[in-house]
């Protein structure tokens, strides 16, 4: 892994410049390209140039899915200090004059990476790799398969953002005429089929390793299992309502009169997308299980801990324990340090308030905490034993609560009798925070964030608007220093894990007409790890409905399960879009606790922080105006 990171960072290969448009990239230094493939060592540098363009999935300034939706809220002050361009997206301030997090051109996101430039470099690599003399054919084939995967993935990333895009399977020739450069956007079906077919060809070639054997140098590189899992995700995305016969874009044509969103589809055609996606998920799961992947469970005996804390660790460590058996693909060029800085309260431990190494700026809105189930495994609005109307009333924790909430501490009812993922994922006033140098459960660290307490908001650059932190992102062995320093156990950001794939499979099965039992089997495996009964048992015992009996009801359950299980893993942002639910969910207000007060009665009042607005046009990014001026064959996305 270290070699992979260093080669990406230190690679001296020239990144080829473009003309006025990022789509008319042509090689402008043939001699340099030829030299890059004269020896294996030089070709390897070019290989890692292709990896260099991978979006930094775990960086606030690079991944719009972290802070660009409704899952985490940051202040304008922190946005400015940390250059978080996704803030503009979450605040409906996107524009075609300056698209934020613009991976088409590379502007306003980390390292200014244009994915079209990355695709161009991938094409150059594929055109030349067979020329390298001091490599075996097997190694050439493996490297070529890796780069083909990267090229397909970069197309996929752009498709999720912009919808139909111009496919760039080959670079435009050096002697291309002006009209050849002015490409059209392919239809959305052509785009997805290109990515899916490319990934299928890679998988069928068997040129990728089943797993990484040289872990010291190669962790993070593409394997057969990664290719299969990402193909499954792509196919589920292609089958989802935003992309699969979306009638909202009926009549939206380019200058050729082609409806580029393919809005006219039969119900059977749309269903077939789901059937194919389910099969891809099944194949990926079977292959990955055979390679030793499984749902993570914390089995370490390093500490003597309660069953309740061990259950929390089953959840907390899924993300933070690097390369555990559940991780299918983690981005080794996106190491999580910054997110930990701002997912932990400044002043978590009394006496350490002056340590400015911790920001604590990532705030979880109350509507996200509401997603988590009660301890009975059903929504808080449906559990007939849980009083939703009294959720803001005050209650003192007893010894029965001590592994979740500090015994004797008064907090709101909403924090009591919730599922274990609530306590593993969230840090709130009164919440026990296991680790950070303290593993004695009789003397727990706990959050104290009302005014006058150690973790209260005091400084503008360390300001949590809601009073709730995404604890799940902080490794339990990361330790804040007394007056300075934050010793972090870093980890690569998980792009795909088995729990995600299980829920994608359940979703595809449900939409393709599979039986209730087949669908819920995969949901229940996730719930079992969280200490919950199966869907049927939980709903039958604790609610007055049987929504699991219908496709619509199961869809709602699966969507909520994804929101809980994958919280803060940069999934909800894309999920809400592909389900066409962003307009519904991101027009709800962002609220939190009244953090400027010191008494329980004042603090535990829900306050409006931001009236979020999402318009239909926000489902897709605008294309930079300059691109449209350079190429009249491109058509702008709706509403921009």
- Residue-wise pLDDT tens digits, 238-274: 999 999 999 999 999 999 999 999 999 999 999 999 9
* CA pair distance 482, 494, nearest whole angstrom: 30
Residues in the chain: 640
Q: Considering only CA atoms, which of 640, 635, 576 is closest in space to residue 187?
A: 635
Angle, vertex CA 361, rays to CA 324 and CA 99, nearest 5: 90
CB neighbour burial string for 5-24, b if at least 16 within 10 angstroms, e if fewer = bebbeebebeebebeebbbb
* CA pair distance 165, 171, nearest whole angstrom: 15
Phi-psi region of 420 (alpha: psi -120 to 50; beta: other; left: phi over 0): alpha
- In this chain, the answer to whether the domains covering 2-63+101-292 and 301-626 adopt an identical fold is yes
2-63+101-292 CATH? 1.25.40
Q: Where are the beta strands (DSSP E) in 371-509?
A: 394-396, 410-412, 427-428, 468-469, 479-480, 486-487, 492-497
Q: How many CB atoms lie within 10 A of CB 31?
A: 7
Q: Considering only CA atoms, which of 86, 170, 174 is closest in space to residue 125?
A: 170
Average pLDDT of the segment spanning 276-298: 98
| pTM score | 0.94
14, pLDDT greater than 60: no
546, pLDDT greater than 70: yes
- When computed from its CA atoms, the radius of gyration of the chain, rounded to whole angstroms, is 25
Q: How many CB atoms lie within 10 A of CB 232?
A: 26
Domain extents for the chain?
Answer: 2-63+101-292, 301-626
Q: Considering only CA atoms, which of 276, 261, 21, 56 is closest in space to residue 163?
A: 261
* CA pair distance 265, 244, nearest whole angstrom: 8
- Residue-wise pLDDT tens digits, 413-442: 999 999 999 999 999 999 999 999 999 999
**One-character DSSP codes across 565-617:** HTTTTT-HHHHHHHTT-HHHHTTSPEEEE-TT--SHHHHTSEEEEE-----GG
8, pLDDT greater than 50: no
pLDDT value of residue 110: 66
- Residue-wise pLDDT tens digits, 333-374: 899 999 999 999 999 999 999 999 999 999 999 999 999 999
Task: Evaluate whether 41 touches 99 at the Cβ level (below 8 Å).
Answer: no
* CA pair distance 7, 37, nearest whole angstrom: 16
Map residue 280 onto helix, strand or coil.
Answer: helix
17, pLDDT greater than 50: no
* CA pair distance 455, 301, nearest whole angstrom: 31
DSSP 627: H
Average pLDDT of the segment spanning 289-313: 97
- Residue-wise pLDDT tens digits, 595-615: 999 999 999 999 999 999 999
Give the distance from CA 333 to its chain's centroid.
15
What percent of the chain stands above pLDDT 70? Answer: 95
544, pLDDT greater than 80: yes
**One-character DSSP codes across 173-185:** PTT--HHHHSPPP
Q: Where are the beta strands (DSSP E) in 278-408?
A: 327-335, 394-396
* CA pair distance 148, 10, nearest whole angstrom: 22
pLDDT band of residue 26 (cuts 50, 70, 90) is very low
Please tell us whether the domain made up of 301-626 is placed in CATH 3.40.190.150: no
* CA pair distance 431, 415, nearest whole angstrom: 9
């Amino acid at each position: 892994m270290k070699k992979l990171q260093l080669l990406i960072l230190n690679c001296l290969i020239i990144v080829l410049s473009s003309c006025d448009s990022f789509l008319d990239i042509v090689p402008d230094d043939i001699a340099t390209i030829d030299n890059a493939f004269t020896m294996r060592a030089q070709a390897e540098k070019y290989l890692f140039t292709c990896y260099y363009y991978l979006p930094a999935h775990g960086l606030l300034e690079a991944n719009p899915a972290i802070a660009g939706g409704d899952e985490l809220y940051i202040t304008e002050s922190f946005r400015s200090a940390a250059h978080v361009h996704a803030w503009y997206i979450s605040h409906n301030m996107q524009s075609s004059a300056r698209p934020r997090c613009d991976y088409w051109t590379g502007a306003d996101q980390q390292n200014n990476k244009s994915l079209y430039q990355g695709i161009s470099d991938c094409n150059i690599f594929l055109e030349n790799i067979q020329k390298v003399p001091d490599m075996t054919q097997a190694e050439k084939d493996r490297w070529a398969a890796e780069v083909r995967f990267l090229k397909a993935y970069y197309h996929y990333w752009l498709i999720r953002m912009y919808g139909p895009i111009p496919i760039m399977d080959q670079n435009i020739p050096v002697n291309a005429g002006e009209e050849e450069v002015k490409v059209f956007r392919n239809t959305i079906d052509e785009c997805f089929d290109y990515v899916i077919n490319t990934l299928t060809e890679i998988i069928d070639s068997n040129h990728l390793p089943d797993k990484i054997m040289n872990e010291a140098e190669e962790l993070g590189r593409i394997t057969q299992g990664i290719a299969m899992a990402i193909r499954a995700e792509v196919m589920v995305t292609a089958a989802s309502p935003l992309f699969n016969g979306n009638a909202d874009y009926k009549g939206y044509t380019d200058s050729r009169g082609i409806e580029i969103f393919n809005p006219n589809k039969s119900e059977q055609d749309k269903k077939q997308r789901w059937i194919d996606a389910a099969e891809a998920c099944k194949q990926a799961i079977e292959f990955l299980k055979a390679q030793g992947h499984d749902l993570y469970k914390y089995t370490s005996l390093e500490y003597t801990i309660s069953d309740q804390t061990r259950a929390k660790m089953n959840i907390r460590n899924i993300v933070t324990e690097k390369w555990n058996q559940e991780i299918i693909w983690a981005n080794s060029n996106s190491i999580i340090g910054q997110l930990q800085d701002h997912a932990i309260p400044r002043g978590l431990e009394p006496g350490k308030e002056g340590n400015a190494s911790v920001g604590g700026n990532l705030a979880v809105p109350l509507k996200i905490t509401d997603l988590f189930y009660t301890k009975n495994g059903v929504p808080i609005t449906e559990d007939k034993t849980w009083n939703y109307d009294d959720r803001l009333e005050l209650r003192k924790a007893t010894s029965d609560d001590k592994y979740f909430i500090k015994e004797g501490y008064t907090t709101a009812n909403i924090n009591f009798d919730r599922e274990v993922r609530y306590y593993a994922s969230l840090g709130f006033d009164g919440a026990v925070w296991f680790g950070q140098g303290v593993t004695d459960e009789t003397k727990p660290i706990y959050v104290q964030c009302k005014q006058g307490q150690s973790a209260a908001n005091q400084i503008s650059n360390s300001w949590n608007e809601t009073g709730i932190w995404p604890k799940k992102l902080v490794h339990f062995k990361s330790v804040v220093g007394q007056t300075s320093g934050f010793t972090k156990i870093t980890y690569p950001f998980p792009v795909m894990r088995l729990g995600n794939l299980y829920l994608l499979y359940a979703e595809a099965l449900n939409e393709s007409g599979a039986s209730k039992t087949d669908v819920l089997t995969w949901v229940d495996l996730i719930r079992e790890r969280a200490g919950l009964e199966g869907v049927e048992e939980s709903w039958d015992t604790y609610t007055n409905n049987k929504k699991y009996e219908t496709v619509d009801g199961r869809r709602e359950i699966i969507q909520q399960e994804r929101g809980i299980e994958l919280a803060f893993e940069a999934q909800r942002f894309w999920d809400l879009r592909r389900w066409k639910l962003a307009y519904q969910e991101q027009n709800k207000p962002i609220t939190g606790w009244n953090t400027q007060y010191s008494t329980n009665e004042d603090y535990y009042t829900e306050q409006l922080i931001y009236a979020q607005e999402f318009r239909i046009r926000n489902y897709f990014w605008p294309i930079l105006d300059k691109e449209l001026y350079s190429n009249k064959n491109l058509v702008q996305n709706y509403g921009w």
